[in-house]
Amino acid sequence: MSRKNQTVVTEFLLLGFGSLNGMRIILFVLCLLVYVMTLLGNITIIILISTSQLLHSPMYFFLCHLSFSDMMLTTDIVPNLLHIILEGGRTMPFLECIIQFQLFGASTGMECLLLSVMSYDRYLAICNPLSYVSIMGTKLKHHLVLWSWVLSFAITLTIATFMSNLHFCGPNVIDHFFCDYVPILRLSCSDTRLLQIVDLVLTAPVTLLPFVLIIISYICISIVILKIPTGTGRQKAFSTCSSHLTVVCIFYLSLIAIYLIPSSGKSVIALKILSFMYTVITPSLNPLIYSLRNQEIKATFMKMFCFRYKI
């Protein structure tokens, strides 16, 4: 059938969690509570780091941007998800769908790059402490964050531009709760081979390469920690990077489960649950992990809370 005789699709119908319509109210309340908790937790982290001199170090500067990236990710997904849950689905214009993918991809790429930058920061602090201040100066930390934002947005914008040129002439139903890359491609009646090649070439440096750098950094850190003669010294050194390592494990396990395990090995509902964990739950956990496992953040929070309470 020629493209002239086919209906051109200009909007998509997102089904969300259609099979869980009987739990619509519970799911809505859960998502709303988690979203509010995510915003409050990450905003608190940003305020603490911005106002406390104790937290004016490169590690917390990077954490501040990680919190902003988490808020961008969850704000891109959750408000639309709440709409879908209430209405039992939602029709989304093609342009809005592409913009949602752009923000989702940029925040994911930013988190990959930022986590690798944070692992490099921990590597310098533990393996090369005498040169840490001179290397990780004001200019370098700002340049690392700036280039992380620029690269993540530029790469996702390139992919989104290719996607905006695709033709859709068949079904317009996306059995998901947001406009992810694979569900959109499956609906296209265009040849997507070039886009898939571009996607692989562009995303590998901001996903797989940072993961490799993180592994190398922690191998070096582990070697140095094991050489510390006292148990107290080893525990103190490990405690400085335990929060970051926990976040890295949660983040990359989610990505691997969603995008690297073949789709044939996952049901639709399993994919939705994994995506829900990654886009909704994980951003709410990061502030808890960093606050509960970090003595400086806990001390700063208690100091600020007690000061406000006395006033």
Per residue, the 3-state secondary structure of 145-170, as one string, reads HHHHHHHHHHHHHHHHHHHHCCCCCC
Backbone phi, psi, residue 167, to 5°: -105, 140
What's the whole-number mean pLDDT along residues 167-186?
88
Residue 275 has pLDDT above 60, yes or no: yes
Backbone phi, psi, residue 14, to 5°: -90, 125
What's the whole-number mean pLDDT along residues 285-305?
76
Domains of the chain and CATH, by start:
8-310 (1.20.1070.10)
* 75 three-class SS: helix
Percentage of the chain lying above the pLDDT 90 cut = 43
Residue spans of alpha helices (H) in the chain: 24-51, 58-87, 94-127, 129-135, 138-164, 181-187, 193-226, 231-255, 268-276, 282-292, 295-310
For residue range 222-242, list pLDDT tens digits in order. 998 888 888 787 887 787 788
Is this prediction's pTM over 0.75?
yes
- Positive or negative CA dihedral for 135, 136, 141, 144? positive
Query: What mean pLDDT value characterizes the chain?
Result: 86
Contacts of 299-307 with CB under 8 Å at 24 or more apart are 299/54, 300/48, 300/52, 300/54, 300/55, 301/44, 301/48, 303/52, 304/48, 304/51, 304/52
Range from 174-178, 179-183, 305-309 carrying the lowest mean pLDDT: 305-309
**Residue 260 — pLDDT band, cuts 50, 70, 90?**
confident
Residue 292 has pLDDT above 70, yes or no: no
Query: Do you know the residue count of the chain?
Result: 311
pLDDT of amino acid 1 = 45
For residue range 195-222, list pLDDT tens digits in order. 989 998 998 888 889 999 999 999 999 9
Whole-angstrom distance between the N-terminal and C-terminal Cα of the chain?
74
What's the whole-number mean pLDDT along residues 148-177?
91
Residue 183 has pLDDT above 90, yes or no: no
